[in-house]
Amino acid sequence: MAGRTQVVSTRRRKKPQTASVLGGIKGTYEDRDNDYVCPVCFDVIDEAHMTKCGHSFCYKCIKQSLEKSNRCPKCNYVIENPDQVYPNFSLNELILKFKGKQTEKKRKTERTTGSSLAELVELLSDDIDLSNVNFLLEVLASKKQKLEADGQFAESCILKEFLQQVRQRKQTQLDQLMREISILDADCQAVEDRLKEQHLKLTSCPDHLVPNGFEPPQPATILDVACDEGFNSSPKVSVPSQAVEDRLLSVTKASGLTSYSQPPYLQTSLASRRKKISQHFEDLEQCYLTIRTSGLKPGPEGSGQGLDEFTNCLSKFTRYSSFRPLATLSYAVDHFNGGSSIVSSIEFDRDSEFFAIAGVTKKIKVYEYDTVIKDAVDIHYPIIEMVCQSKISCVGWSSYHKGGLASSDYEGTVTLWDANTVKLWSCNVDHSIASLEAKANVCCVKFNPESRFHLAFGSADHCVHYYDLRQTRQAVGVFRGHKKAVSYVKFLSSEEIVSASTDSQLKLWDLKRPNSICTFTGHTNEKNFVGLATDGDYVSCGSENNSLYLYYKGLSKHIMTYKFDTVRSVLEKERKDDDSSEFVSAVTWKPGANVLVAANSQGTVKVLEIV
């Protein structure tokens, strides 16, 4: 090898050594012109054929691609007929010339290498004496030692660079950890100061002013102390760890605070909240660090806002622990024999007095909320019932007209109703006033609650599109991250969107950021529309295991679930075995209340209170 290299270097400039490209495999590097590479197989085009949109492919590649999809693999242009591909003779001629040049270049390289080997063999085959042989051996041995030394030097250099990078990363992690510890220490001190103030307020309260029969709340240890203002007197909960308890108890003694006995109601509440915190500890830790390290300074200057924000988050997370059913309704046509009666949409009116239920039975049923939850019987009847011509996909109440109701059906028809008179309204317009071009099927549309010009829609291209109706040529933002079609889009606020997809994920988006800020997982959703609702802090969705899931917007895992019973009719009182085909199909949130209305594919509608 050494002799071969020396001979070549004396005749022509030495070429730079090319690196391995494909997965580190040698010989995968080739000097290719991108103009001659097929976008499908990434090889030089063979039998170039061109589509109507002007892109060229291998004949075999484009044929196989059009058998699976009628779109151009390069630009997604629709090709109506697979036979609409034509030979590209000009490109074929250029490719033949290109291949000829590559073949000639390879032949010259092989010829040069072959001549070098021939010269070396000829040199060794001549009659040479022993002294020359010894000299050649010394030269080869010296060259071998040099190559080995060069190899060891290169290995040492690589090892040094690797160790330096590892140390740099660990140092960065250490710096981050020290910063987090500093913030934690500052927050602990701030909480201790706050506890001292609360302790003084509690001890200064005269107990004799409390009427007989009432037990005044007693201050507990720091671990179980009752809590910050603004949380409906919700107690602040610490992590259920013995080490943390010991630490906090020591802080109690150091601060001069006396330990008090806990009232029973506080013990029960704290036990439930500790359990929830332990189940979501990693998510809560990440939430705390994200809030506290996002540009806030440690210590008194930056401790207030970030700590209060996380305390608010912790309070909302631990506020509810279960679902309490208030009423059960049936959307089924036959209340006694049951049957599939999928509910596709549930919506409250603007004053939350009535809610409408619609679905595949082609009926819109309107119920009065107060009557439903106060009625003692199990069977409830709607106050109004409207019949459509096709299966209903969605309903929505007007936020301006009290009885205004709109519905859309599977035939693509949008109908306006007057729920008070059960009559159709006319918009006096026979065509749309604007059109947004989407390259894929649109699954859902939602207006920004604080802007009449902005709307978001989810589509089958796995994206959420956000538009300004004053500039419809281009989207304000396109949010990518889902792996399948986006089935629902809801606004948590004017700046936050939550989307649901059939990839079994919910994603939270900030309209000012291109990437999602949180991904919610736990439910199952692969093929059906399962509903999505939010009140601004909590997000609820259905699942294909016949359950309702509740998420808090700051945590990726669900905090509660409610399982629907598999009951075929109202006459069945016993719960049957789970049916894998049943799923929760619709859900809505009662505005201004901790009440959800959800329905499943059997037409069972549940009014649930979160407690």
pLDDT in tens, 23-45: 444 444 445 557 788 988 888 88
Query: Domains in the chain, start-ordered, CATH in brackets?
Result: 48-87 (3.30.40.10), 272-318 (no CATH), 323-428+437-567+580-610 (2.130.10.10)
Q: Is the pLDDT of residue 586 over 90?
A: yes
Least confident of 74-88, 302-316, 503-517, 582-596: 302-316
Residue 378: Cβ within 10 Å count: 11
Quick one: pLDDT at residue 379?
Answer: 79
Question: What amino acid is encoded at 32 in this protein?
Answer: R
Burial 210-231 (b: 16+ CB within 10 A, else e): eeeeeeebebbbbbbbbbbeeb
* Per-residue pLDDT, 230: 37
**How high is the pLDDT of residue 127?**
67
pLDDT (0 to 100) of residue 273 = 80
* Predicted pLDDT of residue 286: 87
pLDDT at res. 377: 76
CA pair distance 396, 236, nearest whole angstrom: 40
- pLDDT of 266 > 90? The answer is no
- Mean of all residue pLDDT scores within the chain: 79
**Beta-carbon neighbour count of residue 158 at 10 Å?**
10
What's the Rg (C-alpha) of the chain? 36
Q: Which residue has the higher pLDDT, 149 or 228?
A: 149
For residue range 407-417, list pLDDT tens digits in order.
Answer: 888 888 888 88
Determine the pLDDT at residue 606.
93
Helices 2-9, 89-125: inter-axial angle, 10-degree rounding: 110
Q: For position 12, what pLDDT does the model report?
A: 46
Q: Nearest 10 degrees: CA dihedral of 183, 186, 188, 191?
A: -120
Sign of torsion over alpha carbons 568, 573, 574, 578 = positive
Length of the chain: 611
What backbone phi and psi angles, to 5 degrees, belong to 280?
-120, 30
pLDDT at 398 over 90: no
Q: What would the mean pLDDT of 149-159 be, rounded to a whole number?
A: 93
Q: How far is the C-alpha of 98 from the C-alpha of 179, rounded, in Å?
A: 59
Helix (H) or strand (E) run with residue 480 in it: strand 477-480
Residues 6+ apart with CB under 8 A from 597: 346, 348, 355, 587, 588, 590, 605, 606, 607, 608
Query: Token pair for residue 539?
Result: 């997000």
DSSP state of 35: G
| pLDDT above 90 for 158 | yes
- Say if residues 458 and 485 touch (Cβ distance below 8 Å): yes
Q: Taking residues 575-594, what's their average pLDDT?
A: 82
Q: What is the mean pLDDT of residues 517-535?
A: 93
Residue 532 to residues 82, 264, 518, 585, Cα–Cα distance (Å): 40, 38, 16, 9
Which pLDDT score is estimated for 33?
59
User: Which residues touch 17 (CB under 8 Å, ≥6 apart)?
Assistant: none
Instruction: Find the range with the poorest average confidence among 57-71, 139-153, 210-224, 339-353.
Output: 210-224
Q: pTM here? A: 0.65
- Whether the per-residue pLDDT at 573 is higher than 70: the answer is no
The structure tokens listed for 110 are 């092989």
- Amino acid 71: pLDDT: 87
Average pLDDT over residues 102-117: 71
- Give, in degrees to the nearest 5, the angle at Cα 504 between 500 and 509: 40
- Average of per-residue pLDDT across 174-188: 91
Q: How confident is the model at residue 221 (pLDDT cuts 50, 70, 90)?
A: very low
Using DSSP's 3-state secondary structure scheme, residue 492 falls into coil
Take residue 303 and report the two structure tokens written for it: 């401790």
Q: CB neighbours (10 Å) of residue 275?
A: 13
Q: How far is CA 569 from the centre of its chain?
A: 37
Residue 164 pLDDT grade (very low, low, confident, very high; cuts 50, 70, 90): very high
| Predicted local distance difference test score (pLDDT) of residue 23 | 41
Terminal-to-terminal C-alpha distance of the chain = 80
Q: Does residue 231 register a pLDDT over 70?
A: no
- Cα–Cα dist 336/571, whole Å: 6
Cα 181 from Cα 174, distance rounded (Å)? 10
Longest dimension (CA), the chain: 123
| CA nearest neighbour of 601 among 216, 309, 344, 418 | 344
User: Has residue 386 got a pLDDT over 60?
Assistant: yes
pLDDT band (50, 70, 90) for residue 238: very low
- 419-467 pLDDT, tens digit per residue, is 777 666 666 666 777 788 888 888 999 999 999 899 999 999 999 999 9
Query: Over the stretch 374-385, which tens digit does the pLDDT of each residue have?
Result: 877 777 889 999
Model confidence band, residue 251 (pLDDT cutoffs 50, 70, 90): very low
Q: In what order do the strands lie in the sheet with 558-563?
A: 532-534, 538-542, 547-552, 558-563
Percent of the chain with pLDDT over 70: 74
**With 80 as the cut, is the pLDDT of residue 86 above it?**
yes
**pLDDT of 197:** 85
Residue type at position 602: Q
Buried b (16+ CB within 10 A) or exposed e, 331-344: bbeeeeebeebbbb
At residue 368 the predicted structure's pLDDT band, cuts being 50, 70 and 90, is: very high
Strand order in the sheet with 86-87: 56-58, 48-50, 86-87
pLDDT at 241 over 50: no
pLDDT at 118 (0 to 100): 67
The two three-digit tokens of residue 61, written as one number: 């590649």
